Amino acid sequence: MAELTWVGPGGRPDALPVTPLLLDERPAVAYPYAYADLARQIVGSPAVALTLSDPRMTGSGWRAMTAAGQARLVEDSQGELFRAQLLREELRKYPPSRALADSLILQREHWWYLPRLIVILDLGGPVPVEPRVDGQSQVLSMWAGGRLHVDTVRVTDTSTDRPHVASLAGRPIPDGPASLLGHDFSVPDLERWTPWVTAGEMAGGVFKASGRPERTTLEPSLSLRQRYRRQRDLERACRANLPPG
């Protein structure tokens, strides 16, 4: 699992957790067409960063790190590239995909799930960060001086709109527009994956939040009806955003 950061239209960084894949040895994120607007916003950003911060579901050689660079888009509206080069890796890393595309029969039934907007990340060298290991650690993203700064941080005094933020690695934190990303997921099935993002400004080690997320913990287990509705909504959004023909 990883965190992807980009700069939104208003000049403020935004971030979400993603399933990182590899396409021709470059990291990539393959969005179903339900997330077409999000994918296009990311590739329109002046900078992006990919961060590995969660040690769960990792191997012995895993290291927490972040890398910044640029994003470009490959529109795979037929799903041929995704099926040939990325599907097997997604099925391994993101178990919920198995219910939709783990066989030829499922792929025919859920054909709308295979077309993808593939965001390819051209990144610079990795910078080590400290892993997030508890509920007080989040990913801080900042847009300052024309650069995207990303670090893992400890957030204290979370009951207020001005929590204190400190780099887990002890690095100085610049002032400027910022966002905090926390997320949690059910292990090992990833059936539930809940992110929470807080936008604000960093000033002197204090994060001045402009709002508070509705939820900051993992969502409860879904009922059978809720799972059906989630898949139905995903299908409708994918179909609506697919190009004609």
Spell out the per-residue pLDDT of the chain, length 245, in tens.
899 999 998 889 999 999 999 999 999 999 999 999 999 999 999 999 999 999 998 888 899 999 999 999 999 999 999 999 999 999 999 999 999 999 999 999 999 999 999 999 999 999 999 999 887 899 999 998 889 999 999 998 767 778 899 999 999 999 999 999 999 999 999 999 999 999 999 999 899 998 888 888 999 999 999 999 999 999 999 999 999 87
CATH number of 2-209: 2.30.110.10
pTM of the model: 0.95
Domain map of the chain by residue range? Answer: 2-209
Q: Where are the beta strands (DSSP E) in the chain?
A: 2-7, 13-18, 21-23, 26-32, 48-52, 65-76, 116-123, 127-128, 137-144, 147-156, 164-167, 176-185, 193-203, 206-209
- 14 vs 236: CA distance, rounded Å: 26
DSSP code at position 114: S
